[in-house]
Amino acid sequence: LPGVGVNELLEFEGGVQVAAVEGPAAEAGLTDGDIILTINDTDVASPAQYAEIIGKLDRSRPAAVLVMRGEQSQWVTITPRK
């Protein structure tokens, strides 16, 4: 999606799996295969819901994103481009 850098998502139980990443998301440490669980305390259950959440983000503020990588969950901060 524009300004964030996650270009392709796959449905995944409990979140969405990142299939292509660049830009701010890559700079923040997201990698292909990460599973996005939460954005700014809102659970992400589908690519459509992800798009809705990203569309409502204040692009002047960083977003806190909870991802699952393998067996570990971790928070990353993505600062969208305006």
Round to whole Å and give the CA distance between 34 and 13: 13
Q: Please compute the mean of the pLDDT values over residues 54-64 and round it to a whole number.
A: 88
Nearby residues of 56 by Cβ (< 8 Å), 6 or more positions away: none
The pTM of the whole model exceeds 0.85: no
Can you give the pLDDT at residue 79?
Answer: 86
Q: With H, G, I as helix, E, B as strand and everything else as coil, classify residue 7.
A: strand
Can you give the pLDDT at residue 6?
Answer: 66
Other residues' Cβ atoms within 10 Å of the Cβ of residue 9: 22
Kindly state the tokens that stand for 16: 């969405």
Q: What is the pLDDT of residues 1-50, one digit of tens each?
A: 444 566 556 666 788 988 888 888 888 999 988 999 999 999 998 888 98
Can you give the pLDDT at residue 38?
Answer: 95
Can you give the pLDDT at residue 81?
Answer: 75
